[in-house]
Amino acid sequence: MVNGRDQTEYFARPTLRLIINQPFLVADRVDAYDVYATVSGGGLSGQAGAVKHGIAQALQKYEPVLRSAVKSAGFLTRDARVVERKKYGRAKARRSFQFSKR
């Protein structure tokens, strides 16, 4: 369940559902756990990545034996990229205002 809805309803694209189920496939724990996730912000793809990261963290904390399998698949690494802030004197974070010669 994601935000109170079924995952097939919330993540309509099959690729997003595949991303969410990757930690279970790597750990051979398909249909072993029920997951209730709450996500906000970003887009659907970012939210799917966040749910995948949360499931991987929960798996390795609940069953420490699975840590090596989940870590070697790269599911415990957080993507630290965030939106750069807008600076004063600029149109956006890096874009300058249009230059006018006259």
Confidence of residue 42 (pLDDT cuts 50, 70, 90): confident
Confidence of residue 12 (pLDDT cuts 50, 70, 90): very high
Residue 24, pLDDT score: 93
DSSP string, 9-50: HHS-SHHHHHHHHHHHHHHT-TTS----B---SS-HHHHHHH
> With pLDDT > 90 as the criterion, what percentage of the chain qualifies?
86
Say yes or no to pLDDT of 102 above 90.
no
What is this structure's pTM?
0.81
Domains of the chain: which residue ranges? Answer: 7-72
Residue 75, pLDDT score: 93
